[in-house]
Chains A and B, each alone.
Chain A
Amino acid sequence: MLVSNSGPDATSRAVLRLLVEKLPGLSPIEGGGGSEPPISSDPPILRAAQIVEGSALRAIKVPGLSREMASGFGAFLDGTQKVQVIGHIDGLPIVVGTISSAVRVRVNKRLVTWGHQPPRVERALYLPLRYLTALSAEGLGAITAAQWRLVDTSTADRNGEYPSQHPAVLLERAVRAVDQQREELEDRLAEAWCALGESPLFIDGGISRTPAVAASTCAVGVIKSHRTLYVEGDSLKVVMGLRRGERSSVFRVSPRSRSAVLSWYLRQRSPEGHDALWGLVRVEVAECDRPAERADEISRWVLAETSPLALPDGRWDKMSYGIRDCEEFLRAIS
């Protein structure tokens, strides 16, 4: 998933002109946008997981590693999102969010866009409607008439509480909304792929959000960020101590409100001279009968995808080239 933040582009400027007309007092923001890059604010945590391969988490050398090993992945899925603060009224942020997602299929070693489901790009306007008293019903109608989807960032939460008018709170709400919609977009594409069951799909991120994908043998999720580590105690040492080409024992991840999937850690690159998470990814697959064999096979595939390097992307130690290709593709079309 690629997250970026920038000032208004041509599409955003069009809606900005409309808003200036309908929202007296709106101050447009020109140039590079007015906020820090929106990143997840979830706190890093350790969480216990049920081990399904053996009785304790241990390091396992992935068997059959060689330069010649082939990857079984036939396609890659990733999504991007872009959050643009295009203006404000009395500090209330006016946000345009752009989300996109695509599946890139490998044909003769080259990646092309999946023909069955075209890549998707969606845009929406994120407004704190509750506090935008200056925006009339006629103004709202004009925005929707211009084919812009409106997302209210000032709705009440599960507890019925409304967010404060603090610009940072409203901006964070907008970012979370964009994030959520991007995930939904990716999920829809992943479901479509799994429904056809063509070949294994390398998904950037987890697979547990939708039951269909979580249960599909076609879907393999590869997670690069480790805000949540599914280890505790000595298991943490095992994972941090994984060497290149080693994986952890398979464990089960069962997040709340999500489907249970099998998972394991895999060290793609030697961490010597780097931080402990260097080259470390967590892989998710659907439940299966022989988790150890499955983990070995998928690990070989993931390791095979480390060439060519995903450089110049800064996450190249964990990122496969296919995912970088998806992101570059989406950057070009969105």
Chain B
Amino acid sequence: MSEALGRVVATERKPNTPHEFHFWTAIDSPVGIGTIVRVDGAQPIDGQIPHIYGIIVEGFSYTDLQSPMHDVLGHDGLPTSAGFASTERAEIRLYTAAVLRQVPEEPLQPVPMGQVFLAEEEDVQVALRMDSYLKEGAATGIPVGVYRAGGTDAVIYLDADFLLGPEAAHLNITGVSGLATKTSAVEWLLSSLFTHFPEGKGSIAAVCFNVKGPDLCYLDKPGRIEDTDKTLYEKLGVDPKPFESVQYFAPYTAKGLSLNTFRNNEALLDNVVPLTWGLREVLQFAEVLLNKDDVDAKADALIDFITQNVIDKEFSDPLLSKKHKVQSFADLEAWFRDVLQGMEKKDGESWRTHHVATIRKVRNRLSNISTRCAGLVTDSGAVSDLPFGSFADRTVYVVDVANLEEDAQDLIFARIVSKLREHLERRDLGVKHLVVFVDELNKYAPGDGADTYVRKMLLDIAERGRYLGLVLFSAQQFRSQVHRRVVGNSGTALFGRMDPDELSTPGYTVLSPATKTKLATLEKGQLMIRHPHFTQPIFVRFPRPSVMQGREGAERYPQASEVPLDIAVFRSLRPLDPGITLPWVQDLTALYTEDEIIRARNATLLARPENVKAYFTAQFRKVIPAQPAARPMATTIKSAPENDPYGF
């Protein structure tokens, strides 16, 4: 057993309680804010020596000096002379610790006097109640980091039942930007989760929304890690390697030539799938894009009518000039035009109870969607989507929406999460548990502002997702600005270095001033953790993620610039068939319009056929090569009599 490093003290002014105690240590004692200690009581209770585990939350230091003036007088007002004093004043290091656990737990008494020891690895497990889920038969521990203090290195585990449900769920990360906290922590935690998630609990996958920068764009590429990180990986039982299975999804740019992602470098396109939706997919979530002013009850009724009776159906009406089968935005536009022309001809103000003004308004708003979400929404109706129903175990699906307009981001988020939820409800997603990672939560689920569709969805996941296996990993810079029900439902919370202004908000009043100071000065790779089993926040270190960091990836694989159509097609098809050459693409596409070429490329990328050349060629309409016209046999021209110019 190690030597005692301190002694519990209590005075009338500073008494110990069942939840807090005080102790002093030697001046050079290796303890500090966040250190876990164990107190061995002196007197047995019910025949058992009590052990109290606590974490240091505050520290005090003082000397026997009664007034600062005494020190000034003692050194004649010269600070430099203080160093010559033969003796240094008696000094104390007094710490306050918050109780993590008392053993035995009953009767719950104030912390007794006793010796204080640095907690060893076994003590840490008991103190944080990790022993309940690390024992044989439970084994639901997910390593989140290493607690390190005074020579003790102890792995801190989260309980999978409380991280991914069903007991509790969700994880929220807060920290200032630019210090490799939020994204790095999630990358590391997903690695740990994929490694340690118990086989018996079923399959697991993750959908990550990349909402800014290139941070999540190189998860399948190895990153640089240092020896200290390797030691941590070894201790935490995780291989320092990138994710084995990652799929990227990104819409096209507005022009539709290349994918709108940082990962559109030709060398990385093999696992990047276009994300394109047609009219049907979008119309289900029209609410996301149309605000309350747009969609009143009348407009809502018309959209409902269109969804029920027009989309994908043979639609005819005496008013219309022809039968319509609406499958794309282009078809819808033609349908609207026909309806409005019909009404004008009849000089009617309403059609099937819908007023002409409502029809015009809905036409305007819906047609506008394809413009606002260009690149994502296709006029043609072609759909390229996440593999709902065939999600693979231990796979990360990254949806890159970083370069999109806010509307498009909202639409993507709403539709994908809804689809995930539908499939999880039906138990046919392909995996049993799914982690959804969303950054910038204070933008998507703000505490104040309009009650948007996206915020409602996030609230729904936070409150009910754990029953479905849908778990939200969320991150933001300012937790105080996120809706309380979202962060409140996060069973686990991670905190990186915090902004002092944020720490002064009411949500952090439970933390001691010293803990706040530590939070405001945390190094890279350090986190404070709150978890249902831990009665107090714990500080841990986690290794640098073993994936390529965004900045490095962006330098090594520069984003492809907009290129001419033939080169764009060549670049997107070559990963499917390395035999494809640029001249071949140029020859094949020379006679077709831009829309036709893009449609053919998108269809090929969606189908990913074995014979790419043949499939791509088959997408074009037949064009009969031009033949030189045969010269007709010329008949003999009768010569006119010289004196008869009219030939009679």
User: In the complex the two chains form, is B81's CB within 8 Å of A109's CB?
Assistant: no
Interface string of A127-152 (1 = CB under 8 A from B): 00000000000000000000000000
Within 8 Å of chain B (Cβ to Cβ): is A70? yes
User: In the complex the two chains form, is B74's CB within 8 Å of A309's CB?
Assistant: yes
A333 CB, min distance to chain B CBs, angstroms? 14
The residues of B with any CB-CB pair to A shorter than 8 Å are 64-67, 70-71, 73-75, 78, 81-82, 84-90
User: Which residues of A lie under 8 Å from residue B86 when comparing CB positions?
Assistant: 70-71, 73, 106, 109, 304-305, 307
User: In the complex the two chains form, is A308's CB within 8 Å of B84's CB?
Assistant: no
Bound: A71/B90 CA distance, A: 18
Bound: A4/B219 CA distance, A: 74
Bound: A68/B81 CA distance, A: 8
The dominant DSSP class at the A interface is: loop
User: Which residues of B lie under 8 Å from residue A304 when comparing CB positions?
Assistant: 86
A307-B66 contact given A110-B87, A328-B90, CB 8 Å threshold: no
Within 8 Å of chain B (Cβ to Cβ): is A321? yes
Interface string of A309-320 (1 = CB under 8 A from B): 101100000000
User: Which residues of A lie under 8 Å from residue B87 when comparing CB positions?
Assistant: 106, 109-111, 305, 308, 321-322, 325
User: Which residues of A lie under 8 Å from residue B70 when comparing CB positions?
Assistant: 309, 311-312
User: In the complex the two chains form, is B85's CB within 8 Å of A307's CB?
Assistant: yes
User: In the complex the two chains form, is B84's CB within 8 Å of A67's CB?
Assistant: yes
Not counting A71-B86, A311-B73, a sample of 14 additional A-B residue pairs whose C-beta atoms are within 8 angstroms of each other reads: A67-B78, A70-B86, A106-B87, A109-B86, A110-B87, A110-B90, A111-B90, A307-B75, A307-B84, A307-B85, A311-B65, A311-B70, A312-B70, A322-B87
A300 CB, min distance to chain B CBs, angstroms? 11
Which partner residue on chain A sits nearest B75 by CB separation? A307
User: Which residues of B lie under 8 Å from residue A308 when comparing CB positions?
Assistant: 65, 71, 74-75, 85, 87-89
Interface string of A88-118 (1 = CB under 8 A from B): 0000000000000000001001110000000
User: Which residues of B lie under 8 Å from residue A110 when comparing CB positions?
Assistant: 87-88, 90
Number of A residues, CB within 8 Å of B:
22
Bound: A308/B66 CA distance, A: 12
Bound: A309/B72 CA distance, A: 10
In the complex, 5 of the A-B residue pairs with CB atoms within 8 angstroms, ordered by the A residue number, are A67-B84, A69-B84, A106-B86, A307-B86, A321-B89
Which partner residue on chain A sits nearest B66 by CB separation? A312
Which partner residue on chain A sits nearest B80 by CB separation? A67
User: Which residues of B lie under 8 Å from residue A328 when comparing CB positions?
Assistant: 64, 90
A122 CB, min distance to chain B CBs, angstroms? 24
Bound: A324/B70 CA distance, A: 14
Which partner residue on chain B sits nearest A108 by CB separation? B88
Which A53-84 residues sit within 8 Å CB-CB of chain B?
67-71, 73
Bound: A71/B86 CA distance, A: 6
Bound: A124/B647 CA distance, A: 166
User: Which residues of B lie under 8 Å from residue A309 when comparing CB positions?
Assistant: 70-71, 73-74
User: Which residues of A lie under 8 Å from residue B66 when comparing CB positions?
Assistant: 311-312
B355 CB, min distance to chain A CBs, angstroms? 90
A325-B90 contact given A307-B74, A308-B74, CB 8 Å threshold: yes
User: Which residues of A lie under 8 Å from residue B78 when comparing CB positions?
Assistant: 67
B67 CB, min distance to chain A CBs, angstroms? 8
Bound: A308/B70 CA distance, A: 9
A68-B84 contact given A308-B71, A309-B73, CB 8 Å threshold: yes
Bound: A73/B87 CA distance, A: 10
User: Which residues of B lie under 8 Å from residue A73 when comparing CB positions?
Assistant: 86
Interface centre among B64, B82, B87, B88 (most CB of A within 10 A): B87
User: Which residues of B lie under 8 Å from residue A307 when comparing CB positions?
Assistant: 74-75, 81-82, 84-86
Which A278-334 residues sit within 8 Å CB-CB of chain B?
304-305, 307-309, 311-312, 321-322, 324-325, 328
Which A28-76 residues sit within 8 Å CB-CB of chain B?
67-71, 73
B87 CB, min distance to chain A CBs, angstroms? 5
User: Which residues of B lie under 8 Å from residue A325 when comparing CB positions?
Assistant: 87, 90
Which partner residue on chain B sits nearest A66 by CB separation? B84
User: Which residues of B lie under 8 Å from residue A68 when comparing CB positions?
Assistant: 84
Bound: A37/B74 CA distance, A: 30
B74 CB, min distance to chain A CBs, angstroms? 4
Bound: A175/B560 CA distance, A: 97
User: Which residues of B lie under 8 Å from residue A111 when comparing CB positions?
Assistant: 87, 90
User: Which residues of A lie under 8 Å from residue B67 when comparing CB positions?
Assistant: 311-312
Bound: A198/B75 CA distance, A: 30
User: In the complex the two chains form, is A67's CB within 8 Å of B73's CB?
Assistant: no
B587 CB, min distance to chain A CBs, angstroms? 87
User: In the complex the two chains form, is A67's CB within 8 Å of B81's CB?
Assistant: yes
Bound: A109/B82 CA distance, A: 12
Bound: A111/B74 CA distance, A: 18
Which partner residue on chain B sits nearest A307 by CB separation? B85
A211 CB, min distance to chain B CBs, angstroms? 29
A308 CB, min distance to chain B CBs, angstroms? 5
Bound: A305/B85 CA distance, A: 8
Bound: A70/B64 CA distance, A: 23
Bound: A322/B78 CA distance, A: 21
Bound: A110/B85 CA distance, A: 11
Bound: A287/B123 CA distance, A: 61
Bound: A321/B81 CA distance, A: 16
Bound: A325/B64 CA distance, A: 9
Which partner residue on chain B sits nearest A312 by CB separation? B66
Bound: A312/B89 CA distance, A: 13
Bound: A138/B14 CA distance, A: 45
7 closest pairs, A vs B, by CB?
A309-B74, A312-B66, A71-B86, A311-B70, A307-B85, A109-B88, A67-B81
Bound: A312/B71 CA distance, A: 11
User: Which residues of A lie under 8 Å from residue B89 when comparing CB positions?
Assistant: 308, 321
Bound: A70/B87 CA distance, A: 10
A19 CB, min distance to chain B CBs, angstroms? 29
B451 CB, min distance to chain A CBs, angstroms? 63
Bound: A70/B86 CA distance, A: 7
Bound: A67/B79 CA distance, A: 12
B635 CB, min distance to chain A CBs, angstroms? 127
B89 CB, min distance to chain A CBs, angstroms? 5
Bound: A220/B380 CA distance, A: 104
Bound: A312/B66 CA distance, A: 6
User: Which residues of A lie under 8 Å from residue B90 when comparing CB positions?
Assistant: 110-111, 325, 328
Which partner residue on chain B sits nearest A306 by CB separation? B74
B531 CB, min distance to chain A CBs, angstroms? 41
Bound: A321/B71 CA distance, A: 12
User: Which residues of A lie under 8 Å from residue B84 when comparing CB positions?
Assistant: 67-70, 307
Which partner residue on chain B sits nearest A110 by CB separation? B88
Bound: A321/B86 CA distance, A: 10
Which partner residue on chain B sits nearest A76 by CB separation? B87
Which partner residue on chain A sits nearest B64 by CB separation? A328
Bound: A304/B87 CA distance, A: 10
Which partner residue on chain A sits nearest B73 by CB separation? A309
Which partner residue on chain A sits nearest B72 by CB separation? A309
A50 CB, min distance to chain B CBs, angstroms? 32
Interface centre among B66, B67, B82, B84 (most CB of A within 10 A): B84
Which partner residue on chain A sits nearest B70 by CB separation? A311
Which partner residue on chain B sits nearest A305 by CB separation? B86
User: Which residues of A lie under 8 Å from residue B88 when comparing CB positions?
Assistant: 109-110, 308
User: Which residues of A lie under 8 Å from residue B82 when comparing CB positions?
Assistant: 307
Which partner residue on chain B sits nearest A321 by CB separation? B87
Bound: A92/B486 CA distance, A: 77
User: Which residues of A lie under 8 Å from residue B85 when comparing CB positions?
Assistant: 109, 307-308
B214 CB, min distance to chain A CBs, angstroms? 54
Which partner residue on chain B sits nearest A308 by CB separation? B74
Bound: A321/B78 CA distance, A: 19
Bound: A313/B86 CA distance, A: 19
Bound: A309/B71 CA distance, A: 7
Bound: A325/B65 CA distance, A: 12
User: Which residues of A lie under 8 Å from residue B81 when comparing CB positions?
Assistant: 67, 307
Bound: A106/B84 CA distance, A: 15
B172 CB, min distance to chain A CBs, angstroms? 46
B525 CB, min distance to chain A CBs, angstroms? 35
Interface centre among A73, A308, A311 (most CB of B within 10 A): A308
A278 CB, min distance to chain B CBs, angstroms? 14
